[in-house]
Chains A and B, each alone.
Chain A
Amino acid sequence: DTGVSQDPRHKITKRGQNVTFRCDPISEHNRLYWYRQTLGQGPEFLTYFQNEAQLEKSRLLSDRFSAERPKGSFSTLEIQRTEQGDSAMYLCASSVSSYNSPLHFGNGTRLTVT
């Protein structure tokens, strides 16, 4: 179990630029989740995949955000035309398809939009 891996750990970008983050889940986990955490808040759900299918998206996920999970393995989260309000920690998590299976989180990608 190598854990959930996220890349990069930190990203600084200028407003208006596009950014892409990558998440590699635990290999036997078929569910993958993206969350966002801002200072002083708990993680907020963005979207999740079961295998390659994106099954749910939060209304927090504006049309500037897109997530993919080709072949049901790694996932990418892209933010287009970044805004300062997008500055946050983006957390990826994975789990098996069991109701009570806990999420295993990665260490996150911290995005700073200047």
Chain B
Amino acid sequence: DQQVKQNSPSLSVQEGRISILNCDYTNSMFDYFLWYKKYPAEGPTFLISISSIKDKNEDGRFTVFLNKSAKHLSLHIVPSQPGDSAVYFCAAISRIYGGSQGNLIFGKGTKLSVKP
């Protein structure tokens, strides 16, 4: 049973436009959420995070929105650039695991393609 779901395996957008990547979760105990980006033949790299006490966090071109009532979060990339083409993973953690990020639960990822 997938606790973190990324229902879109792929997304294609034009350079300069907005990319919106979505993530749904089922475990109401999750209280910290992260997005990781992964290029081929590399490990995932941390992009941005959000605590459940917030509904928005922004870092440059990247903004994460959290809707706790809907158990939904989204990552917005504005403007999108060809270098953003990668697989994006949503991940979540619950404080019940004692504050360790060792038990991050990842979604299956969304492959973003930004066309010039």
Interface residues of A (CB under 8 A from B): 4, 31, 33, 40-45, 47-48, 55-56, 58, 91, 93, 95, 99-108
* A56 close to B100 (CB less than 8 A): yes
* 8 Å CB contact of B89 from A43, A48, A55, A99: A43
Whether B91 pairs with A42 at a CB distance below 8 angstroms is: yes
Interface centre among B36, B49, B102 (most CB of A within 10 A): B102
* A103-B46 in contact (CB<8A): yes
Q: How many residues of B contact A (CB 8 A)?
A: 27
| Complex CA distance for A28 and B104, rounded to whole angstroms | 21
- Which 7 residue pairs spanning A and B have beta carbons closest together? A42-B106, A105-B43, A48-B102, A102-B46, A99-B99, A107-B43, A105-B44
The answer to whether B109 and A42 touch across the interface, beta carbons within 8 angstroms, is yes
Q: Mark B13-42, 1 if CB is under 8 A from A, else 0.
A: 000000000000000000010101000011
B101 touching A102, Cβ below 8 Å:
yes
Closest CB in chain B relative to A39 CB, distance in Å:
10
What chain B residues lie within 8 Å of A33 (beta carbons)? 101-102
Q: A33-B102, A45-B102, A48-B100 are in contact. Are A102 and B34 (CB under 8 A)?
A: yes
Known: A4-B43, A100-B49, A107-B43. A45 touches B103 (CB 8 A): yes
B104: which A residues are within 8 A, CB to CB? 43, 45, 103
